[in-house]
Amino acid sequence: MHSTNLCDSEQLLKNLVHDLRQPLGTIETSVYYLGLLLRTADPQAQEQMRTIEHQVERAAGLLNAAVAELNRRNNAEATEKALSAAR
């Protein structure tokens, strides 16, 4: 039963990561185009654009770290199973 809950949690995490990447990509693209339009804008507006870019990068980094950790755990589990089967 623990294994099933783990699989459900992993799938939930995968779905969450997938679902969050779409709006992050849209925000990133929007910020890029707004940056082109606001090149000569008020420095405060430019600073806000940089803040948004930084926060999108941070969120994407957190999602990438979550996926990397999930992959690391899955690889460790597969290695452990292979070693157990070889014994």
Q: Is the pLDDT of residue 74 over 50?
A: yes
- Long-range Cβ contact pairs of 68-75 (< 8 A, separation 24 or more): 70/10, 70/13, 70/14, 74/10
Would you say residue 44 has pLDDT above 50?
Answer: yes
Looking at the chain, the whole-number percentage of residues with pLDDT higher than 90 is 37
Global pTM exceeds 0.85? no
pLDDT, mean over the chain: 87
Which pLDDT score is estimated for 83? 81
* Residue 5 confidence class, pLDDT cut points 50, 70, 90: low
Q: Work out whether the CA dihedral 64, 66, 72, 75 comes out positive or negative.
A: negative
